[in-house]
Structure 1
Amino acid sequence: MKTFILLFILSLLTATHALAKRNHFCRAQEFTSCRFEYALICPNGYIDGCLTGETTKHQCVLKAEGPACEFEIAILCPENFRDGCEIGATDTHECVPVPGPSCSRNTKWNCPSGFIDACKL
């Protein structure tokens, strides 16, 4: 019985520690297999990976069609996304998800269609 209680406490601590280390982040949500037709709506700058052959499930992937970072432009990104050029994540002006506060904090994190908060996974 002691062993069971010790294992339970250890697994609980491990799960709590793992949750504390994760941050809010808009992660592309995976839907049904590409073999099935599915009307996936992605935010601007993203496309269904099944259409480009990049994924085996319907999932929003970056189009990477924006102008090069060497050109100074301003782009409007969805909430919790930033221009990849500003944060050094892309070579082109594209809206990419940015990490937020720790999952252990009770913060509401909004993601556009096709994306889900990593804390909810």
Structure 2
Amino acid sequence: MYELHQTRDSIHRKACQHKVSSAIDTMIVDAFIKADGALKISDSLLDVTEHTKLTDGIYQKILHFDVKEDEENLREAQKILQRIESRDLYKCVCEIYFTVEKDKPITLVNQECEQDCV
């Protein structure tokens, strides 16, 4: 049982929390938020019937949707998904860790990015 837990923990840290996986997750969320105005993705959360129709095909639908001139957000969503396809992923500028104590300030991993992060 201990070995099983160690293997699962190792896979989770190496694959699920990998920086590339996190970047792609963030980019997909950004694209879905931008495309929501035109495709009404969030409306399917309230309607069970519509929610069951929401599949992985939404990614391809956004990517290949015929965008009209007034749908700038949808065009931006397509650009984000095209960046994923071409592996032009978001880059991590810095990491911020917050302390539990109220009196202590934010601890930065990279002190050089202090001005950019705060």
Question: TM-score band (shorter)?
Answer: 0.3 to 0.5
Normalising by structure 1, what TM-score? 0.32
Q: Bigger relative contact order, structure 1 or 2, given CA contacts below 8 A and separation 6+?
A: 1
Which structure has more strand as a fraction of its residues?
1
